[in-house]
Structure 1
């Protein structure tokens, strides 16, 4: 595989991850009161801080992913955020309804898989089709 091809694949992966978070962040912002109510129903502490942080992480994180800006640290932040939302938002172990529990299990493991994608992005970097890639020297791996 060529570095150009690898960079193209990494760019597509960044876009795929970004779409989910951009859409989710904007929907949280548009329905902010409902989102705050949801966090309260889940027993999330410090909702007044957690809600705007979640909107910012998802929206800004999505934008940074598209641009390929600060990609490696963003990969760690987004992985941690995604695992935290899996634990707090998809707590299947607290649900007794079998159908709802099944859905929450799927959503929980989906979040864990997405976190794995962010960890891969942390390791691979953003590829050359990115702001980070444009700033990087062309020696070494250069992905």
Structure 2
């Protein structure tokens, strides 16, 4: 880190991303049958594996974001997850209803934007306000 404020800004970015994933993962868990039905209706393959995996990724990924744990590998993993879910879950090109297509388009690009945020976390690391930051040697740059 070159400025003390950077760790705080990175922490806020991590929490902002985490809120979405924690909320989404918990809602998927609470409405699990509906989530599975949605995936089946979209033609997503291997729903029996994909549904619990998606819930686990979103809840655990959200917790890791808040804690700042293993942020660099998490950043790459979550960026890929966001792109895969954009393509499988928000396939606007297959929707004929104009209002639904617009909604799917917005969600598709939201996922792409989140992937960009995760790639930035891969580059910056967790910042000082994190488990990763606490584990970084004091003489280091603090970017883990």
Normalised by the size of structure 2, how large is the TM-score?
0.96
Q: Tell me by how many angstroms 1:2 deviates.
A: 5.3
**1:134 and 2:134 correspond:** yes
How many Å separate the matches in 2 of 1:88 and 1:80?
A: 12
- Matched with 1:65 is 65
How many Å separate the matches in 2 of 1:95 and 1:76?
A: 29
- Matched with 1:53 is 53
Aligned pairs for 1:1-143 within 5 A: 3-143=3-143
Q: Which SS does the other structure have where 2:4 is aligned? A: helix
How many Å separate the matches in 1 of 2:4 and 2:129?
A: 9
How many Å separate the matches in 1 of 2:85 and 2:139?
A: 38
Q: Tell me by how many angstroms 1:142 deviates.
A: 1.7
How many Å separate the matches in 2 of 1:99 and 1:39?
A: 20
Normalised by the size of structure 1, how large is the TM-score?
0.96
Q: Tell me by how many angstroms 1:63 deviates.
A: 0.2
Q: Deviation string for 1:68-99 (max 9, x for gaps)?
A: 00110000111000110100111000011111
Structure 1 residue runs of 4 or more that deviate by more than 4 Å after TM superposition: none
How many matched pairs?
A: 143
Q: Tell me by how many angstroms 1:102 deviates.
A: 1.1
Q: Deviation string for 1:1-23 (max 9, x for gaps)?
A: 95320000000000000000000
How many Å separate the matches in 2 of 1:34 and 1:98?
A: 23
